[in-house]
Structure 1
Amino acid sequence: MRSLRFLFSFDGRVGRSAYWLGLLLPLMLMFIVVTAIVPPLAFNSAVLWLSLLAAWPALAIGAKRCHDRDRSGWYQLVGLVPLVGQILLLIELGFRRGTDGPNRFAGER
């Protein structure tokens, strides 16, 4: 139950390692499913549906990482700015330390 909350809840905070793990595991699972199970003719629609299913956990984990950086989850919209926004978001969420102690979004991690 805790892992479902981790993947689907927008509340709380996560550190850098949990953020990367939370992003990479669903992507690896999606890759395995698409390459091993999906027939070639259904490839495009399967990738679309699996991408949409993977978007919710990615947004939830990203929001929790934003919270750890003492930012709103809406900060992820910076990634919609081509190239510059994506690089900034990668640095901000993927590599910078979270705030020490409790912040306005949650207590200690």
Structure 2
Amino acid sequence: MSWKQWLFSFQGRIGRQRFWIWNIFYYAVILGMGAFLAQSGLGNMGGYILSAVVVCLLIPDLAVTAKRWHDRNKSNWWLLLYVPIILGRLGGADIAADTMTVDSMTPMMAAQAIVTLVSIFCGMWTLVECGFMKGTDGENSYGKSAQ
């Protein structure tokens, strides 16, 4: 499989190794950019730049994960777990839990907290299914066994 198929095609299957290679790269870029932008003094502009980077990496992230779901013999509909994950990533959920009480929580803060919790749950589900569980042996509905 070429790197273009790996990162931009929603067809076929990949194994856990390729899934992990992508995710290590993805999070290294996000963390590296976040650290750089935090030190750059750009303020809010840094957050917008980081959000733009996340959006640019969205298609490859979805394509890689789709192929892992296929390796587990599950459809692309499982990518819907990414909706709260994306909202959580882009929303940032800037909640200072140590200084916030239930009385001081605004409806917006409560919504951010809920999105964050749902995002964590969906992310953990995807991590376990795609990152740790073995794909189906042999051919399945989505093609030949992943390498």
Structure 1 counterpart of 2:53: 50
Give the conservation status (yes or no) of the 8 Å contact 2:33–2:50. no
Query: Quick one: distance in 2 between partners of 1:58 and 1:46?
Result: 18
User: How far has the Cα of 1:19 moved from its partner?
Assistant: 0.4
Runs (5+) with no aligned partner, structure 2: 85-116
Q: Label 1:89 to 1:5 Cα distance change in 2 as closer, same or farther (>3 A).
A: same
Within 5 A, what are the aligned runs for 1:86-105? 86-105=123-142
Q: CA RMSD in A?
A: 2.3
Q: How many residues align?
A: 108
Q: Label 1:45 to 1:14 Cα distance change in 2 as closer, same or farther (>3 A).
A: same
User: How far has the Cα of 1:65 moved from its partner?
Assistant: 0.1
Matched, 1:23 2:23: yes
Runs (5+) with no aligned partner, structure 1: none
Structure number with greater Rg is: 2
Aligned AA for 1:17? Q
Q: Label 1:26 to 1:84 Cα distance change in 2 as closer, same or farther (>3 A).
A: closer
Structure 1 counterpart of 2:74: 71
Aligned-pair identity in percent equals: 30
Q: TM-score, normalised by structure 1?
A: 0.83
Q: Label 1:84 to 1:45 Cα distance change in 2 as closer, same or farther (>3 A).
A: closer
Query: Quick one: distance in 2 between partners of 1:91 and 1:33?
Result: 26
Give the conservation status (yes or no) of the 8 Å contact 1:15–1:98. yes
Structure 2 counterpart of 1:40: 41
Query: Quick one: distance in 1 between partners of 2:134 and 2:126?
Result: 13
